[in-house]
Amino acid sequence: MSEYRPYCLFPGGYSTCGAYCGPCRAPSCEGNPDGVNMYDDRPWTSWYTICYKERLVAELTCPVDNRVQLPQIYSPELHGCVTIDRIPPEHGGQMPNCTGKEDGRYPNEYGKCDFYTECKWGHFIRSVKCDMGKAFDEVLRECTKSPKNTCTCDPSSC
């Protein structure tokens, strides 16, 4: 007798609840290691699964990162929830491009005046959110109350 592991491994892909049940839509943990895994049909979204002994334990979503007020996405490359600034644009994220840039602070590429990007050795290091009421000044390369740049963000609303 075989041991059923996937959440919905029933004849025809249907559960045993009767004639009113539809096809199973739960992700499978078959072949996945124990712990956090990418949601089968939702890669590069906030959805992820927790598996144990090839069984689905939970379907969860990544929380908002309250530190920088950015949504998080499950990264199958990093195996965890990360802010959208750590997700490459080709996967729907907003990871800044630091290729060819000198070490330092740069304006946010996505028009967020109250954020700046730190680059080092041509690689993205992190995004930093300015304190409330401040915006990134492209000349001074720091967050100030009166930035000397063309960013359209009103510092009082940042």
Residue 11 lies in a domain: no
Q: Indicate yes or no: pTM above 0.95.
A: no
Residue 14 lies in a domain: no
Residue 5 lies in a domain: no
Q: Answer yes or no: do 62 and 110 share one domain.
A: no
Residue 35 lies in a domain: yes
Q: Where are the beta strands (DSSP E) in 76-122?
A: 80-83, 104-107, 115-120
Q: Answer yes or no: do 31 and 76 share one domain.
A: yes
SS3 157: helix
Question: Greater confidence, 153 or 139?
Answer: 139
Q: Answer yes or no: do 32 and 78 share one domain.
A: yes
Residue 99 lies in a domain: no
Note the pLDDT of residue 8: 55
How far, rounded to the nearest angstrom, does the alpha carbon of residue 135 sit from its chain's CA centroid? 24
Bridge-partner residues for 48, per DSSP? Answer: 38, 60
Contacts of 123 (CB under 8 A, 6+ apart): 98
Q: Answer yes or no: do 134 and 84 share one domain.
A: no
Helix residue ranges, H only, the chain: none
Q: Is the pLDDT of residue 155 over 70?
A: no
Determine the Cα angle at 150 with ends 102 and 145, to 5°.
Answer: 90
Structurally, the chain folds into a number of domains equal to 2
Give the residue numbers spanning the domain of 134: 104-147
Residue 17 lies in a domain: no
pLDDT range class, residue 150, cuts 50, 70, 90? low
How far apart (Å, rounded) are the C-alpha atoms in residues 152 and 96? 19
Note the pLDDT tens digit of each residue in 24-83. 667 888 899 999 999 888 889 999 999 999 888 899 999 988 877 778 999 998 889 998
Note the pLDDT tens digit of each residue in 29-44. 889 999 999 988 888 9
Residue 13 lies in a domain: no
